[in-house]
Each structure stands twice: as structure tokens, then as C-alpha cells.
């Protein structure tokens, strides 16, 4: 399938990241933008840019029909969905393909199968990959509560057509389950137009590990090692690393082979991630498959030296994988932090506003994938991602030290952000030791206790701003005639 | 220039001044030489006690316009605090006291010069209506009526220099309707 | 020797680069600054910062006595000279060491020996490494001209105590030599306080290749492959890459072994580069040794994954080298461009002024080492370096494509710069093919011919600025009283 | 608004206007819709003909204050050019012609209103000395004496509206000493 001009049906950091590969491959790019994204970085970096509607993504970035129109208008012959939006929606993929465009992603059939988490479990079981005990035959609340007792608590309630952690909840008692069911179903309908849920046995201290796989149209399959995605909050990853400090070389091959068995069973073509939960004894269980480029792919790119978007494009073109399994490098260690405009001290509430200062880290083996710039207005309509900061080192210790140093350089003005939170993360003992699981954020250990040691410096700068303001004020003449002017400029004391 | 710093439960009395181009910060009475340059629009490089620290300043809106809110970002995290002109604090609390006492005599709360007189004797004024402007400490301090009242007597005229506590205007409170 | 607090006796990009390693190693840093560098990036990033005098570097950065004073004052116990300034000056090293400080660099004896290029040639010859025929016995002009005839033209005239390409000239005839001699001697006296020169046979189409070596105090020696430094103009490198496209694996080992033989002969301890000239038949000749961190070290760091400043510090501490020769990786390919404030269309004349815009490239495997920032004033007193931009790829083709894409993103305002020149370089056939030698810039093939295809875009933005200015002007009242104000603001037509 | 573009040996006649918030550029007579936003202090995002191009503008000083110098940086390199108000070009060349002809009658070079008159009849003026200001096309156009001369006759007064070529001031050149 041709990819001679690529439409990127996304925005922000991932759109910029895809754009950069296209620049290297000399493929012209087409960006799309909603009303509030006219000045966005992805629009500025693209060769062509087209408006696709109002700010809410359901009226712009999610509108496959508009994307197809822009593709026709611009002469693009391929569409990359990025991640999020309609990246894993089989209907969207079908519409793109039916319009005669190359879809950069797995087939409609694969998206349909893996989109249904119950079907996906069945596929894993069919090829002998373990799954956690589950209940999915019934959807009636009371029947589910009754079955839950057989399964045993704690357990997870999940939408059957769920993805990206949306709607998932953990419950510890029948009462919690009863209260959770209507909520999960409600969210499932809102997000996925389907109210079916299922129950799955929850592990106590699980490790979340995902294996990156790639497959071409010629029956070649490889895995590009795993990422550890256990550093998550509410089933959303806040940081990731590769390789996983919990995975031994033997386990690595087992996980890789299990991932490929599933991919082969469904004739997967493209890149994707097979996700597993691991218990403390290193038993692993298939969780689901993410059928797109992942938000954590940078760490895989660091340790392999490969460009996964280039792989996606070359697979879509019908080319063979560039490397065999034996040729895939495992080079050092990489860590990634998701830098968000949010307040870690207030339950990570998103923060919007203008980025009135931005100093991004630089230097050796630092990568900052971003879709923002100095002066950009963070919109409350989209994910509050400022950048994905990743660091590589020849070993885990050096990768972490480099990330820690990079975070010290990162300075963001105008919005609350989680840079200090990530810095605390890279100082957190379990993280330094590589001994953490998905419950790492259960207690808010990162909250600043007391006032930092540099208070005098912090205050000196503010005090200086006050002085400058007073000095400017003092330079103005204080005649009778100026009273009105003072009033106008609010430089008057009202007593 | 003086400021009261409030951060968390702490308050500190600060002062900053520039002499022959050199800055000094006074922190609860302790003088600290300050080498500070603005390097980017909201970013400062500070060398204090040989330590070099970069500080990025965000202004944070507060409810009280006299309370200046700041968020300073440093390599070790962010500091949220407010700075307030202690004179304003003083004046505001004095005014609040005067108002609560309900007294009819407006006095100068600090030494200064009468810049503008807005009322004449016999006039009735509403609560919050400007009475006069007293220039003091390089600021224009607008005195407003603490209640609905009648102006009984004016003790000053425009241009007059006043000592602290000098009587300015006598008011007779009007009964609430 | 202890390195518990490190004074960095340098400025700009290299000071920032050293600082970043110290941050990772948690070594407190001491920066020094001249009068015009108070707000420089290295001052902002350091833990402690001290003034050392007026802007001209001979009165500040070159003043070893002031550096020693600051070390005492700040409690620093080690000094890193960076490169340039007094990095290779044995007298400076001696003063630092005599003050009881750890000198991050090779010994005074090594600096003395290798600083004298004639002595260095002798050392190479002693261990059997070929050198080019030369004349160094005499210093009298006419005697040199007479000897030159025996040597044959073209040849190089070089200061005996020269370094960094300073003073060197190529001559093709006796007449050129006669005219060159007083100039080279003059520059030699000015820069190195020594007027001795020597003549060396010049190769016709030479390749310049330098081998990175490292040695600890325990007698361990390794080489970290080579860099190709042939992309040079007036003996100054403008770009470099590693490994060299001209060097075969067999030649690589030969060069490495030759470099180590020289290092061992002088008991070298530290990191350094042994430089060779290669002719078209891949015969190699020792040129000189650079006894410090090199400006091109980033490409070596990319292909080995190692941090050479960390190596320097650990060697100075008396630790053993972290890797043996067999463990040194050779991972992919890296390319570096030196981004300068200069005008490539006007013989690379330096440009000074305020950096009123700066957008640096980002993304996968891009490294931008810089000491400047948006709003920084480029001083005419120092090298006009804006940044060293390097890119890595799993192979040479991808590294170059990545560099090319990165250069397209790089945008600098306020000063003339060589970004477009470097972009042309990464499109230049001999560079793409890896078939170039040091004469690559003999013809100015990079000069823009005609007007680019995006003229309308370029002009539209300027036209819009004019429109906005007119609109602001139109809003002002045009009464008689305003005439004077208009005059003041130069908004008047003078006819 | 019109401008004359000069780049290398090329010149183009340009115009830009804003109607109902939409920008149009006219390039040698061809109308081109222009979608342009300022994204950073000196940086613009332009979408023209669906092509998205980022342009960074540096102003470059020129000898002639009416000649606005620019350096525009794009992904494909930098463009150096000047923009000039064609009216000014016209006026300047007309003035130059008038000066060369040595004619003693100053005429209005475009329709406008006399804003200010600096001389009176019988006065002698030096070359370059301001004679009057004529407001035209939203600009204050200052007419200066093209030579050392005596003001023989003034044909206008302040506030008067003039047609193009209306006589303004008659000068009698003084012989060079």
C-alpha cells in the first residue's frame, strides 16, 4: 500500500513525533487542527495543514468523515491515527480503508477481535497463554455479584470494549462491587457505546509489563523486548522504563514468545503491545493487547535504536521487517516521565493556562517529545500533556541519574506541573531499587513536606519584582493632574 | 521597600533596597547582599552567598488586590507565597478598627500631604464614597467614608501637610433607613 | 585524587556540558564568569558562581591565579579546564596542581611533551608510527626555504608549540613560503609566546581522522574508535562524524593500536585524541595529540554510549577504566554540526547580537549542547558558537537523515547563522556518499543561488508586520498637537 | 496597504488588507488569501494554499529609514529583502526631481491637508529646513526646503485642504556663497 503523503489524524506530542519521522523519510505530511489548535506545534511543523472543526475532539479529531475529506483534498494517501482518538476503533479503520487510503495500523478484523477484551482473552487461552480467572457470561448486576463470590475478591470490573484504562475499577467486597457496577457500565456506554462489563480476578501486588511486537505482511514476527508500565495511577501510566527491572532474561523470552503466539494467532500486521500482569512469583497473565503505537514507545526506541513509526510506515507499505529476532538489539536502559500540566498535590487536577516560561532539558541521551512551546495556551479540552521526557543510560542506574538531572533543569511557568513529582519519583527508594508494582502511588509520599531550603532565593526574585514595580511607580509625577491616571492604572490605595 | 512574606504558617518581615546599584535584602532584620539579574522574561539568576540559583516567577491571582501572590519555581520544586506591603496591612487594619468603632472623626493614618479633597461641609456622603486623597510614602491613599454620613467639619485643605493622627474630616453618621 | 567539588574553568557550551555530568554524579559545581557572562547559562546551571574579571578572556578565563583563588574560596578541590583557554597549557596545569587541586587532564609532563609538536613527532617515530617528512632543525627563514625545496611542495608551515589549528598555513611555492613565514611566526608568538615553526609535507587530498583514547593511572589503555574531522575550514572543524566512513575495520584497529602505542610511550593518563592524516591509499601519518576533551566528543559518546567527562573524573580520582577494549561498543553512527553565529555567505564572518528567537530541534536521538538561550547576547569577545547539534542513527544514512530533519527544525533569530549551510552540507553529494576529504569547502558550493521557493511566505510575514504597524499608527489621533509626538516617534515622512 | 518588495534584483508590487478579519495578500496583482497567526514574539505560522510554513522575522537596519529591512528565516533558509511604501518612493523621487530641476514652486505631491506651516513670507531658509507638514494618507509628510532659498510667497494656510499639484510655497533660490 502506498504511503507517499501522510495525514496525521492527531495533535500535540504524538503528531509532532510522527511528523519528525516523516521528515526523515521525506514523506510530505498533512496536519489537521481544531479551532483552538490553529497555532499548535503540529500545524507549524507539517507541510500542509487543514482545519477540521470545533475544539471538542468529538467534533474534530474524532470525526473520521472530516479526516477522509481532508485526505482527498490534500492528496494524502495514508492516515496515521497516532494514539487515543480513533486509533483502535475498527469502524474508523474501515472507513479510512474503504476510502482507498492506507491505514497505518492493524487490520479491521484484528481491531474488532482485540477490542473485545473477552474475545481477546479467549484467543490468549487458545494459544496457551495464561489469563486470570474471570466472569463474563452474564451482565446482570446480581448475577455478577453472585459469581464474584466464586471468583473471590479483590477483583477488577472492566468494560468488555474498554481500552486505555477507562472505566476500570478495583473492588474488594460485594458491596463495593454493587456500587461500582452502574458506574462502570455508565462509563462504558459513554466511552464505548456498549454497557457490557466483566469481572477479572485482581492480583495483590501486580507488575504491569507490556511486550512490544511487530509483524509484517509476509509472516515475519519479532518482539522488541518489554516496557514496565507499573508506574501507574488510576490505570494511567505516569512513567515507564525498558527493560523491566522485574523481568529476568528467561522471563523475557517467555513473555516475548507468548506475545508472538497471540499475534500470530490473529495474523497481526503492524506494531502493537501485548500487556501482561505479573505476580510476585513472576507468573504472568495476558491482560489485553494495545493495537497501536504506545505512549511509552520511546523507551523501546532507546534500547533498540529503532524508529517504531518508521517500522509502522514500512509495514503498511508491505515491506519486510528490517530485523530478525536475533538482530534486535538490547542496548542499555531507558526511562520516561510524562510531564503534565497538573497539580500532584491536589489529586493531579489538570491545570490550564499559558506556558509563559519553558526551559526543556538538554544534553546527552535526553529526548523530549512535545507538542507545546513557549507562549502556547494549554487547553482544558485536551490531555494536559506538556511533554514525554525520556533518558537513556548504559545501565538502569545511569539512566535514572540522567533523568533526575534532566528534571532539575526542566522549568515550566504559567501552569502547575508534575516536574517536582517526577523528581521525587526518581528519588523514591522502590523506584531506585527497581522494586515497585502498580500500587506505588497508593500513598502520596511525593507531597512536599514543609518549606524547601531555597525559600530565600524564591522570595528574593519576587521581592525584586515588587521593587521594580515600586520604582516604576515612583518615577511617575505625583501632581494633582495625575490622580486620575493613577486611578486608571489602579495604583491607588483605597482606604 | 518593605514587604510581609506569608508562606504556609510562616510570616517574615522583609525589605529590599538598591544602593549604588547594589541590592540588599533584609530578612527578619538580617542584611543579605543580593546579586540578581533578570535573564529571561520571567526568569532570574540569583547569586547569594556564592550560591547560584535560577528562579522562575509566576504571579498568582489572589482575592485581595493588595496581597500579591507568587509561585516561584526552582530546581528543587515550587514555592507558593504572598507578599504584602506592611503599610497597607497597617492602614487596612486601622481603617477596619476606625470603621468598627464608628467614630465620626477621620484622622490621618500616616504623615502626608492632602492632594485632593472631594467633599465640602454639609454634604452627605455614602459609605465608600471618596473623601480625600492623602499622598504618603509615594502612594496616593484614598480615604473613603466608613458609613453613610454627613460632613460636619473639614479640618484640612488641599496641599496641607499633615502629621500622623491629624484630624481631617468630622462626620456625623446617618441612621440606616 | 579527590573530586568532591569541581570548578569548571570555562564558559558556554562546554561548561554546561561538564556541569550536566556533575549533576548526574552529584558533584557540586563551581562556575566562574567574566563581566559580560553574569547571566550566562553556565552561571545559571552551576551550584556556586564567582566573578573572575573583565570580558576579554586573557583577563578572566585565562587567569589561572584567579581560578586558584576561586577554588580556595569555594572549597572546590578539582578543576576541569574544558577545551580552549588553558586546557593544554602545562604551566596552568602545574599551578593548579601546585595549589593542591586535582587537575582534570593529563600530567604536566605529557602536556609539555605533546605541546611541542616536534617532540611529539619524535615520540610517534620512536614507537614506529609513521609521520610525514618534516623540517624542524632550523628557524631561519632562508634556511627553511632552502630545506623546503628538498621536502617538496605543497607543505604546511606550523608553530612548534601550536594547537587548535592556530597559525597553520599551507604553501605551494617558495614565494608563498617566504611570505607565510613572518605571519606564522607572528601568530605563534602572539598565541604561544614562542616563534619556532616547522615545515611538514602536505598531503594532496588528506583525510583527518582522530582516535579517542583513554588511560587510567593503573596502566589500562583503551581506544574508543575514531572520529572523522575532515569537514574543516581553515583547520577548524565545522562538523564531525563517528565512525569515519573512510576507515575500514582493519584500519580501525591499526589506528587504535598506533594511538595506544603513543599514549603508552608517554604514560598518558586521562582521555585524549591522537590525530592522523590519511592519504587516498589509506596510509596514515601521526599529526599531533590533543590532550583534553575534544569538541567533537559527542559523536564518540553516541557510538559508545559512554560519558567521556565521567571517564575523565573517574580517571582523575584514580579509578580504573570502566571497560576493557573488548567491551567498548560500536553502536550505530553519529554526526555533529557546529552551529555558529556567523555568515557563511560572507566568508563565515562572526555575527554578534541578541538571540531574539531560538527553536532548537527535538525528538529521537538528537542532542543539542549549548550555552545560550532565548534573549542571550552573543558577545564578539568569545567564539560565536550557538550549539553543537548531534544526531545518532543505527547507520550512517539514518544519522544523516535525522541531522537533516533536525536542521530543518532549528530556527535562530537575531544573528546570522550557519544552519542553512549545515543543511546544504547534509545534502552535499560527497558527504552523503561519505567520500570527502579536508578540501571539501574549497569551493563555496553552499552559497544560495537565486531566491528560494518560499519567498511569498517569507514576505507575507514581513508584510503583516508592516500592516500591524500601520494599523497601530492609524489608531493614534492626528491632531496638530500630536505632530511633535509623531516626530519623536519617527513616524513622520521627511520629504 | 501597499509595499514595494526588493529582493536581489527582483522587485514586486504588493498589497495586504484585512476584511472581516480575513487577510489577503496581493502579489503583482494576484489575490492570495492568507491565513497567518503570530505564534511567538517574532514567529509566524502561515497557511497559504494549504501549505503550512513557519516564518521567523528579524528586522535589519538599513541606511534609509523608509526602507524597511527584513531577514526571514524558514525551514529552507533565510531571505533578505526590503519593503518600502510606494507612496514614499514616489514622493522621494518626485522631491529628488523637483530638487534637480531647481524649481522655486513647491507643489503638493499628493492630496492632503496643511497641518502646520513653519515659515512666513520673506524669511530665508536653509536646505533641509522644514517648510510645512501636509497630512496625507494618514501620514504626516514634512516638506523641506530643497535648497537655500528665500520664501517669496505662501499660497496656503494651516488647515487648508489641497488637491494634488496645488502650489504651496514659492521659493527663490539663493546663490551659493
HEC string of A18-36 equals HHHHHHHHCCCEEEEECHH
CB-based contact, A305 to chain C, within 8 Å:
yes
- Cα angle C354, C358, C363 (rounded to 5 degrees) comes to 160
Cross-chain residue pair D50–A73, CB shorter than 8 Å: yes
**Is the confidence at residue A375, as pLDDT, over 70?**
yes
Our count of domains for chain D comes to 2
Residues of A in contact with D39 (CB under 8 A): 39, 44, 373, 375
pLDDT at A485: 42
Whether residues B66 and B19 fall in one domain: yes
| pLDDT mean across residues, chain A | 93
Q: Report d(CA B53, CA B58) in Å as an integer.
A: 16
Q: Provide φ and ψ at D131, rounded to 5°.
A: -105, -50
pLDDT at D73: 94
Q: Chain C to chain D, count of Cβ pairs less than 8 Å apart?
A: 156
Judge whether A229 and A296 are in contact, CB under 8 Å.
yes
Cross-chain residue pair B45–C31, CB shorter than 8 Å: no
Could you report the per-residue pLDDT of B49-80, keeping only the tens digit for each? 999 999 999 999 887 778 899 999 999 889 99
pLDDT at A452: 85
**Is the confidence at residue A483, as pLDDT, over 60?**
no
Cross-chain residue pair A39–D37, CB shorter than 8 Å: yes
Q: Report d(CA A372, CA A42) in Å as an integer.
A: 9
The model's pTM? 0.87
Q: Report d(CA B37, CA B53) in Å as an integer.
A: 11
Q: What is the ipTM of this complex?
A: 0.86
Residues of D in contact with A45 (CB under 8 A): 54
Q: Report d(CA C94, CA C101) in Å as an integer.
A: 10
What stretches of C407-491 adopt beta strand conformation (E)? 411-413
Nearest CB partner across the interface for A457, out of B8, B16, B48: B48
**Domain at B103, CATH number:** 2.40.50.100
Whether residues B76 and B119 fall in one domain: no
According to DSSP, the residues that pair with C155 across neighbouring strands are: C171, C201
Nearest CB partner across the interface for D3, out of C359, C450, C463: C463
> Across residues B105-121, what is the average pLDDT?
85
Whether residues D121 and D167 fall in one domain: yes
pLDDT at A144: 92
pLDDT at A477: 55
**Could you give the 3-state DSSP secondary structure of residue B171?**
strand
Q: Beta strand pairing status for C492-494 and D139-144?
A: parallel
Cross-chain residue pair A363–C17, CB shorter than 8 Å: yes
Interface of A with C in 311-350 (CB under 8 A): 329, 331-332
- Cα angle C407, C413, C416 (rounded to 5 degrees) comes to 80
Confidence of residue A487 (pLDDT cuts 50, 70, 90): very low
- Minimum distance, in Å, between the CA of residue A46 and any CA atom of chain C: 11
Which of A378, A462, A492 is most worth mutating to test chain B (most B CB atoms within 10 A of its CB)?
Answer: A462
- Minimum distance, in Å, between the CA of residue A134 and any CA atom of chain C: 41
**Is the confidence at residue A484, as pLDDT, over 80?**
no
Q: Which one, of A478, A481, A473, A493, lies nearest residue B109 by Cα? A: A493
What letter would DSSP give residue D155? -
Which of A24, A39, A355 is most worth mutating to test chain D (most D CB atoms within 10 A of its CB)?
Answer: A39
- In which domain, by residue range, is D144 found? 86-173
Cross-chain residue pair D74–C457, CB shorter than 8 Å: yes
Whether residues B57 and B115 fall in one domain: no
| DSSP string for residues in A165-215 | TTT-EEESSHHHHHHHHHHHHHHHHHHHS---EEEEEPPSS-EEEEEEEEE
Cross-chain residue pair B50–C50, CB shorter than 8 Å: yes
Domain ranges of chain A: 6-104, 133-201, 207-454, 466-494
Q: Which residue has the higher pLDDT, B97 or A34?
A: A34
pLDDT at A481: 44
**Could you give the 3-state DSSP secondary structure of residue C292?**
coil
Nearest CB partner across the interface for A493, out of B16, B72, B140: B140
pLDDT at C331: 97
Residues of D in contact with A43 (CB under 8 A): 45, 47, 52
- Minimum distance, in Å, between the CA of residue A409 and any CA atom of chain C: 8
Residues of C in contact with B52 (CB under 8 A): 31, 43-44, 46-49
Residues of A in contact with C408 (CB under 8 A): 23
Residues of D in contact with A29 (CB under 8 A): none
What letter would DSSP give residue B175? P
CATH number 3.30.930.10 given to C6-104? no
Cross-chain residue pair A473–B10, CB shorter than 8 Å: no
Low-confidence ranges of chain D (pLDDT < 70): 89-103, 137-139, 176-177
- Containing A299, the helix (H) or strand (E) segment is helix A297-304
Residues of A in contact with D47 (CB under 8 A): 43, 49
Whether residues B90 and B168 fall in one domain: yes
CB-based contact, C44 to chain A, within 8 Å:
no
Question: Which residues of C are identified as catalytic?
Answer: 292
Residues of C in contact with D34 (CB under 8 A): 460, 464
Whether residues D66 and D145 fall in one domain: no
- Minimum distance, in Å, between the CA of residue C484 and any CA atom of chain A: 21
Q: Which one, of D138, D131, D113, lies nearest residue D1 by Cα? A: D138
Whether residues B90 and B80 fall in one domain: no
What CATH architecture applies to the domain C207-454?
2-Layer Sandwich (3.30)
> Across residues A486-490, what is the average pLDDT?
42
Nearest residue of C to residue A393 by CA position?
C305
Chain D neighbors (3+ CB pairs < 8 Å): A, C
- Of D43, D60, D84, the domain-final residue: D84
- Containing B128, the helix (H) or strand (E) segment is none
**Domain at B71, CATH number:** 3.30.700.30
Q: Chain A to chain B, count of Cβ pairs less than 8 Å apart?
A: 153
CB-based contact, C359 to chain A, within 8 Å:
yes
Residues of chain D that touch chain A, judged by Cβ-Cβ distance less than 8 Å: 35, 37, 39-41, 45, 47, 50-52, 54
Nearest CB partner across the interface for C401, out of A24, A360, A409: A24
pLDDT in tens, chain C (495 residues): 899 999 999 999 999 999 999 999 999 999 999 999 999 999 999 999 999 999 999 999 999 999 999 999 999 999 999 999 999 999 999 999 999 999 999 999 999 999 999 999 999 999 999 999 999 988 899 999 999 998 999 999 999 998 888 889 999 999 999 999 999 999 999 888 899 999 999 998 999 999 999 999 999 999 999 999 999 998 889 999 999 999 999 999 999 999 999 999 999 999 999 999 999 999 999 999 999 999 999 999 999 999 999 999 999 999 999 999 999 999 999 999 999 999 998 889 999 999 999 999 999 999 999 999 999 999 999 999 999 999 999 999 999 999 999 999 999 999 999 999 999 999 999 999 999 999 999 888 888 777 888 999 999 999 999 999 988 887 765 444 444 444 444 444 555
Cross-chain residue pair A363–C408, CB shorter than 8 Å: no
Could you report the per-residue pLDDT of A209-248, keeping only the tens digit for each? 999 999 999 999 999 999 999 999 888 899 999 999 999 9
Give me the helix-helix angle, C108-115 and C117-126, nearest 10°.
Answer: 100
Q: Which residue has the higher pLDDT, B175 or A391?
A: A391
Whether residues B93 and B164 fall in one domain: yes
Nearest CB partner across the interface for C357, out of D43, D48, D74: D43
- Minimum distance, in Å, between the CA of residue D175 and any CA atom of chain C: 22
Long-range contact pairs involving D10-15 (C-beta distance under 8 Å, separation at least 24): D10/C451, D12/C459, D13/D86, D14/C459, D14/C463, D14/D83
Whether residues D90 and D72 fall in one domain: no
Which of C358, C359, C418, C463 is most worth mutating to test chain D (most D CB atoms within 10 A of its CB)?
Answer: C463
Whether residues B57 and B126 fall in one domain: no
Out of A121, A196, A292, A402, the active site residue is A292
Residues of B in contact with C7 (CB under 8 A): none
Residues of chain C that touch chain B, judged by Cβ-Cβ distance less than 8 Å: 31, 38-39, 43-50, 73-74, 373-375
Whether residues B12 and B77 fall in one domain: yes
The CATH classification number of C133-201 equals 3.30.1490.20
Amino acid at each position: 500500500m502506498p504511503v507517499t503523503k501522510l495525514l496525521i489524524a492527531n495533535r500535540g506530542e504524538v503528531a509532532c513525533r510522527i511528523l519528525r519521522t516523516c521528515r526523515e523519510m521525506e514523506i510530505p505530511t498533512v496536519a489537521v487542527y481544531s479551532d483552538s489548535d490553529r497555532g499548535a506545534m503540529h500545524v507549524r511543523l507539517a507541510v500542509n495543514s487543514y482545519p477540521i472543526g470545533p475544539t471538542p475532539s468529538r467534533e474534530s479529531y474524532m470525526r473520521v468523515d472530516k479526516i477522509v475529506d481532508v485526505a482527498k483534498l490534500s492528496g494524502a494517501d495514508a492516515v496515521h491515527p497516532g494514539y487515543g482518538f480513533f486509533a483502535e476503533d475498527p469502524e474508523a479503520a474501515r472507513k479510512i480503508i474503504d476510502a482507498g487510503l492506507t491505514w497505518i495500523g492493524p487490520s479491521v478484523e484484528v481491531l474488532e477481535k482485540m477490542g473485545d477484551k473477552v474475545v481477546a482473552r479467549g484467543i490468549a487461552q487458545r494459544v496457551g497463554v495464561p489469563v486470570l480467572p474471570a466472569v463474563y457470561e452474564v451482565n446482570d448486576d446480581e448475577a455478577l455479584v453472585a459469581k464474584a463470590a466464586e471468583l473471590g475478591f479483590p477483583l477488577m470490573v472492566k468494560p468488555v470494549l474498554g481500552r486505555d484504562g477507562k472505566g476500570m475499577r478495583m473492588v474488594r467486597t460485594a458491596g463495593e462491587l454493587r456500587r461500582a457496577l452502574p458506574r462502570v457500565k455508565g462509563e462504558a456506554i459513554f466511552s464505548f457505546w456498549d454497557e457490557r462489563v466483566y469481572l477479572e480476578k485482581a492480583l495483590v501486588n501486580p507488575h504491569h509489563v507490556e511486550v512490544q511486537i511487530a509483524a509484517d505482511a509476509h509472516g515475519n514476527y519479532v518482539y522488541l523486548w518489554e516496557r514496565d508500565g507499573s508506574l501507574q495511577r488510576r490505570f494511567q501510566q505516569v512513567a515507564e522504563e525498558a527493560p523491566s527491572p522485574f523481568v529476568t532474561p528467561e522471563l523475557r523470552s517467555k513473555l516475548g514468545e507468548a506475545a508472538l503466539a497471540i499475534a500470530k494467532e490473529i495474523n497481526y500486521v503492524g506494531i502493537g503491545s501485548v500487556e501482561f500482569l505479573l505476580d510476585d512469583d513472576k507468573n504472568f497473565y495476558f491482560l489485553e493487547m494495545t493495537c497501536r503505537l504506545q505512549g511509552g514507545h520511546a523507551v523501546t526506541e532507546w534500547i533498540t535504536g529503532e524508529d517504531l513509526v518508521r517500522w509502522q510506515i514500512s509495514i503498511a507499505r508491505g515491506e519486510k521487517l528490517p530485523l530478525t529476532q536475533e538482530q534486535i538489539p538490547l542496548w542499555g536502559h531507558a526511562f520516561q516521565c510524562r510531564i503534565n500540566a497538573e497539580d500532584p498535590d491536589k489529586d493531579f487536577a489538570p491545570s490550564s493556562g499559558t506556558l509563559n516560561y519553558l526551559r526543556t532539558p538538554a544534553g546527552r541521551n535526553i529526548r523530549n517529545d512535545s507538542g507545546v512551546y513557549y507562549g502556547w495556551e494549554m487547553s482544558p479540552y485536551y490531555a494536559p500533556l506538556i511533554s514525554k521526557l525520556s533518558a537513556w543510560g548504559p545501565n538502569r542506574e545511569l539512566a535514572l541519574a540522567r533523568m533526575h538531572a534532566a528534571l532539575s533543569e526542566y522549568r515550566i511557568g504559567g501552569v502547575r506541573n508534575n516536574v517536582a513529582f517526577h523528581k521525587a519519583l526518581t528519588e523514591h527508594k522502590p523506584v531506585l531499587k527497581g522494586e515497585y508494582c502498580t500500587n506505588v502511588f497508593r500513598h502520596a509520599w511525593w507531597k512536599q513536606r514543609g518549606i524547601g531550603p531555597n525559600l530565600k532565593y524564591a522570595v528574593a526574585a519576587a521581592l525584586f519584582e515588587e521593587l521594580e514595580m515600586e520604582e516604576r511607580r515612583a518615577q511617575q509625577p505625583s501632581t494633582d493632574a495625575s490622580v486620575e491616571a493613577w486611578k486608571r492604572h489602579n495604583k491607588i490605595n483605597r482606604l | 521597600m518593605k514587604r510581609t512574606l506569608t508562606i504556609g504558617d510562616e510570616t517574615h518581615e522583609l525589605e529590599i533596597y538598591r544602593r549604588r546599584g547594589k541590592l540588599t535584602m533584609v530578612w527578619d532584620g538580617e542584611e543579605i547582599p543580593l546579586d540578581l539579574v533578570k535573564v529571561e522574561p520571567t526568569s532570574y539568576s540569583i547569586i547569594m552567598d556564592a550560591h547560584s540559583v535560577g528562579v522562575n516567577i509566576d504571579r498568582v491571582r489572589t482575592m485581595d488586590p493588595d496581597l500579591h501572590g507568587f509561585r516561584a519555581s526552582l530546581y528543587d520544586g515550587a514555592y507558593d507565597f504572598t507578599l504584602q506591603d506592611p503599610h497597607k496591612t497597617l492602614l487596612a487594619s486601622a481603617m477596619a478598627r476606625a470603621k468598627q468603632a464608628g467614630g465620626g472623626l477621620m484622622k490621618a493614618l500616616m504623615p502626608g500631604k492632602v492632594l485632593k479633597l472631594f467633599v465640602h461641609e454639609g454634604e452627605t456622603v455614602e459609605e465608600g464614597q471618596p473623601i480625600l486623597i492623602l499622598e504618603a510614602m509615594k502612594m496616593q491613599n484614598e480615604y473613603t467614608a466608613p458609613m453613610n454620613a454627613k460632613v460636619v467639619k473639614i479640618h484640612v485643605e488641599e496641599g496641607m501637610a499633615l502629621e500622623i493622627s491629624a484630624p481631617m474630616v468630622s462626620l456625623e453618621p446617618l441612621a440606616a433607613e
